Structure 1
Amino acid sequence: MLLKHDYTNLFEDVHTHVKESAEKLGASGSALFIIQNDKVVTESYFGKQSHATNARKVQADTQFHIASVRKAYIGFAAAYAIYHGYISIDDPIQHFVEDSHLSAYEGVTIRHLLTHTHRLNIVDGELVSDYYPGESWAYRGPSIDLLTSIILKTTGQSVADIVKEQVFDPVGFQSTEWIKMSQPHPKITNTIRDTDNIYWTETDVVDGSGMNMYVSAKELALWGYLHLKEGKWGDQQIIPREIIQLATSIQTPNPKLPIHKNGCLWFVKDTNHSFNQIGDAVPKGSYQLLGYTNVALLVIPEENLVAVRMFNRYGSSEGFDYLNDIRSFGDTVYKCSKQTSTM
């Protein structure tokens, strides 16, 4: 499916926002891709794939490391497994883990893993619990490892297998992949890191559990667009609508608590809070994921819009307020989108 292009200068403020953020971060390259009302309204590429003098320019097929935005694909695989009956969202995870005797697992369900309310943490190499499941929120790694292993155990397919079979192959994605870092290719960006981030490494794991996922701005936007259209691709319903609705609606066990709200790993906008990664102006029901490379995928159903920004910078430069930056990005996108809807 090819979306028509209807480029407009109404998103110029977003264009400026991304360029300024790239400069503050010290990124060598960045990209912006916006779809609204079933048309590509903005597509911009800035800089080069690394700071090397002979580096390749950032272009349409350039693939950026998306870090935690990969959770959009893991969340999809989890929703797929739930929809097809391999697991239930409220299944205790003790049913699926080999070390089920550990007290830290008690009371923890699939829902808690998907909404970051699971309480699990690794301290001195040991799995511990910090609070009763569902009573608070914390963004921690054990949930992702557990989810990917549970999905593999119950479906017989890895996250990477599921999304490739269900989406990538049917729609013809060519620039979305978990890449073996021992086999890089010219289209991927060099992820710029500070020396105090050298602990972070990529692996050759390509089953969807590893962090080394690279995607072009266009295909990340089209992934968001598939969610916006609730599984419809052109005239075909390629994914059951219920899978997308499950993934992108609030699944947090106690939605009245003043904490982040999540679907299947997506951050979902509910009420305004200062800790939200989605700006105050962005309407309720919007959903987003933000990666530590400052990559963001934002979907605003009310405006029939998907916005993607890409940077090749791991972490933040000194003094960079990433929370304020991502909130203002969303608010700027929404403000500009309202201009188009009034024309």
Structure 2
Amino acid sequence: MNKLVSWVEEIKDKNASTAAALIVMKDNEVVLEHYSGKHSNTEDARQVDQQSRFNVASARKSYLGLAVAYAIYEGKITSLDDYARNYFDDIDHELLGATTIRHLVTHSHGLDENLEGNLIREFEPGESWAYRGINIVMMTKLIHNLYEKNFPQLLKERVFEPLGFTKTWWEVSDSPELVSVIVDPADKGETALGMREDGLEKNLFVNTREFAEWGKLFLNRGKMNGKQIVPEAVMELATTIQSPPYADKELPQNGLFWFVQDEPRERSELGSRVPRGSYQILGVTGPTLLVIPEYNVVVAKMYNKRYNYGGENYLYYLKEFSNLVADSFCVK
């Protein structure tokens, strides 16, 4: 596993990230824990350690996905194939058309916002795949409406508190534990805080240990310390392929926002050597949470630099890391 640490450190330097962390779990035990760098690029910045909490950006979608899975399991959403227009009275039903909940949670909805903030259609639902933010806003608001509480609060009551999570939250005020986000390496890092704690903003901060424990919860199908914290069926909904059938076979496959491996695909973010049934979530600031059930492995990786290394070839590096993890545990 030294190769994993070397890879993490190499990309950290190449991408001008000031902080990195890596935890590898095998058979529910931590077998590697690595921290390096500082919270920002200022001289007095705090050293990264177990308490350091990283902004996980789009990896927060895995948390929203679990809330959506609860809503389906509990019948608040009757089916993934329900039309979105049945749930969103404030959005033009003609524009929504045949868009379903399934399309919204698998990035196959075809909706986007223009510069004026108006909803537009890029392609017909289910015909392609595009990573946009409007579906996240829509599903966040829907969960709030269905439960009369926001999804972070829902998860706090049902998951975070039972698991003893104290380092996972949507932050609106700064603290020494929070790692800054580097946008321009020549400038001081940004706090990446939000104005609200309801899940609508990209202000989820998590320390690496709880990020790994989040993955462990999924690996164990909702059971922790001998207790079923989340119904197994809820976990199954979130992490099995829910994407509609695509004409383009190179498009990624998703569960409820998770990227799920079935077979190697050109536009997937999982490497070709990662076993079928594995799943992964990523963020633009560098976090990766990879779960490989076949090997009973969870890997949590953190950075604090906005935008992935590699430019237009960034998918290669995302796949390379997951392939290195798979190679570390594959018995040949």
- Shorter-chain TM range is over 0.9
Q: What residue number does 2:51 align with?
A: 61
Q: How many residues were matched structurally?
A: 328
Q: What residue number does 1:79 align with?
A: 69
In the TM superposition, 1:1-343 aligns within 5 A as: 11-88=1-78, 89-125=80-116, 126-180=118-172, 183-194=173-184, 202-254=193-245, 257-258=248-249, 259-316=251-308, 321-338=313-330
Could you tell me how far apart the structure 1 residues matched to 2:122 and 2:75 are? 30
Cα pair 1:25 1:320 within 8 Å, conserved:
no
Deviation at 1:196, TM superposition (A): 12
Deviation at 1:194, TM superposition (A): 2.5
Moved more, 17-26 or 272-281: 272-281
Give the % identical residues: 36
Cα pair 2:253 2:268 within 8 Å, conserved:
no
CA distance 1:123–1:199, shift in 2 (3 Å): farther
Q: TM-score, normalised by structure 2?
A: 0.94
Residue segments in structure 1 that go unaligned for 5+ positions in a row: 1-10
Deviation at 1:288, TM superposition (A): 0.4
Deviation at 1:169, TM superposition (A): 0.3
Residue segments in structure 2 that go unaligned for 5+ positions in a row: none
Deviation at 1:127, TM superposition (A): 1.0
Cα pair 2:168 2:205 within 8 Å, conserved:
yes
Deviation at 1:26, TM superposition (A): 0.5
Aligned partner of residue 54 in structure 2, secondary structure = strand
Stretches of 4+ aligned residues off by more than 3 angstroms: 195-202, 316-321
Deviation at 1:257, TM superposition (A): 4.4
CA distance 1:60–1:302, shift in 2 (3 Å): same
Deviations 1:203-236 (A, max 9, x none): 2121112111100111001000000000000111
User: Match of 2:326, as an amino acid?
Assistant: Y
CA distance 1:332–1:169, shift in 2 (3 Å): same
Deviation at 1:289, TM superposition (A): 0.8
Deviation at 1:325, TM superposition (A): 1.3
Cα pair 2:287 2:302 within 8 Å, conserved:
yes
User: Match of 2:41, as an amino acid?
Assistant: H
User: Match of 2:83, as an amino acid?
Assistant: P
Deviations 1:54-86 (A, max 9, x none): 111100010001000000100000001110111
User: Match of 2:156, as an amino acid?
Assistant: K
CA distance 1:53–1:209, shift in 2 (3 Å): same
Aligned partner of residue 299 in structure 1, secondary structure = strand
Aligned partner of residue 165 in structure 1, secondary structure = helix
Cα pair 2:171 2:193 within 8 Å, conserved:
no
Cα pair 1:31 1:309 within 8 Å, conserved:
yes
Could you tell me how far apart the structure 1 residues matched to 2:301 and 2:323 are? 14
